[in-house]
Amino acid sequence: MSKNSNKKNDNKIRKNNIINDFTKKNFFEYIFSGNSIFNYKIILYWLPPLLFILTTSLVIFMAQIESEFLAGLIAGLVIYIIYFIIDFTYQNILCKYTSKLKLLKNSLINSLTPCIFVIIGYIIAVLLPNVKRCNILLQDTGIEERGELRKMNTDITRLMNIHKNNFAIAIFFYIFSIIYNNPLKKKKCSNNNLC
20 falls within a domain: yes
48 falls within a domain: yes
Mean predicted confidence (pLDDT) in 66-88 = 93
The total number of structural domains that make up the chain: 1
**What is the predicted pLDDT for the residue at 21?**
63
16 falls within a domain: yes
pLDDT in tens, 17-68: 767 666 666 666 666 666 677 888 788 888 999 999 999 989 888 888 888 8
Query: Cβ distance 178 to 20 under 8 Å?
Result: yes
Amino acid in position 183: P
pLDDT in tens, 89-147: 999 988 888 889 999 999 999 999 999 999 999 989 888 776 555 444 444 444 444 54
Domain of 72, in residue numbers: 3-124+170-189
Mean predicted confidence (pLDDT) in 66-91 = 93
83 falls within a domain: yes
**What is the predicted pLDDT for the residue at 7?**
65
**What is the predicted pLDDT for the residue at 8?**
66
38 falls within a domain: yes
147 falls within a domain: no
Record the pTM: 0.79
CA contacts within 13 A on the Cβ side of 82: 24
134 falls within a domain: no
